[in-house]
Structure 1
Amino acid sequence: MTELIPRLFHSDAEIEHIGEGLLARTLPREEWTHEAHLAATTWLLLKRPDIDIDNQLPDIIRRYNESVGGANSDTEGYHETITRVFLRGVRLFLAEADSREPLYELVNELLMSPMGRRDWPLRYYSPQRLFSVEARRNFIRPDIASIP
């Protein structure tokens, strides 16, 4: 699978803008990219310990999607399994990373790492399983390999 070069960040303020915009539901829809998802997740984990990301992230994303005119259905919007897999990937990355770096450099390293690739979940799931309605609604176990 050909991987697109990720859009990298140039400041911590860019990442804070995404995280705060997600929470306030003011982030323009076109800015809610794959890179923004991972930047927001990293920001939430490192800068917002007041948010229980495991329990609150699904509703944060669902509410944001609805606020920009999107739907959370069987075919679009929030995807539980993909969200959980990438959340695990961000945590794996952060466990090995130098957290003293500026946040934007940390996020850029994440985006360039295996865990930051758009296709990272497909190392563990077949497309049929990952993109199923069941996987969108609920976290399902991988069918190719265990997630580290």
Structure 2
Amino acid sequence: MEEESTAEPARARPMLHLGEPAPDFEAVTTHGPIKLSDYKGQWVILFSHPADFTPVCTTEFMGFAKMNPELEKRGVKLIGLSVDSVHSHIAWVRNIKEKMGVEIPFPVIADLSMSVGTLYGMIHPGQSATAAVRCVFVIDPDQILRAMIYYP
């Protein structure tokens, strides 16, 4: 099983701006391969976290999982991302279910090459050149970036 995204190779990219098309990507996730373009016609919340098995990231994921039923009713799909491997993500998601009783129902991208993270400006060299910072991107059904929260 391939463990990393297949988006364009990591390279510097200008900051994304609201109203711009969201960059398309292909990636391997905990739910198998996905492309952002597969979600055309639906709202998407793409969010990143620095690392699996950390307390803050775990509580954030549990919060997203709790909100997921209401988001699904509104036609919104969640996609998580970090630079951890798909094996790490799967073990972490299982651990959250076993220890906390919370199922993570959305895919988590394994971005080992940091290609998706680079496309979206999720890799902040001032923080760590090998981890994603916390970012949230709201993408509309036409795949236009409508909101973003970036907190390194």
Q: Fold match, TM over 0.5?
A: no
More helix by share: 1
TM-score band by shorter chain is: 0.3 to 0.5
More strand by share: 2
Per chain length, whose mean CA-contact separation is higher, i.e. which structure has more relative contact order (CA < 8 Å, sep 6+)? Answer: 2
TM-score normalised by the chain length of structure 2: 0.32
